[in-house]
Amino acid sequence: MIEKETDIPNWNSAPVWAMYIAQDLDSEWNWYETKPFSVNGEDNWLSVPSTMHAQAEPPIVDMKVPHWHEMIFPRPTLKRKDNES
């Protein structure tokens, strides 16, 4: 399910191992175990060999995303209440 405010796939559908989600130039979202990186001239994210990555939901619209380098997000963390241990 896509979150309407940001069009980022919902973290509830993420694989357990996924720590990042990133969108590439062609608007495809992918889950990554480690923080992906890009190389000059490439139009997609790369991941460290031997780490996991998988495509999230297919894009709703096939379009070019001009600022795709900014579309990388870490897994949200749960905030603990001060009285929890």
Report the alpha-carbon distance of residue 52 to residue 33 in Å, rounded.
5
**Which has more confidence, 46 or 85?**
46
The average pLDDT across 44-62 equals 71
Q: What is the pTM of this model?
A: 0.69
| All residues at 6 or more sequence positions from 80 whose CB lies less than 8 Å from its CB, including other chains | none
Q: Compute the distance between CA of residue 69 and CA of residue 5 in angstroms, rounded to an integer.
A: 19
Q: Which two tokens stand for residue 1?
A: 């399910």
Q: What is the mean pLDDT of residues 14-28?
A: 89
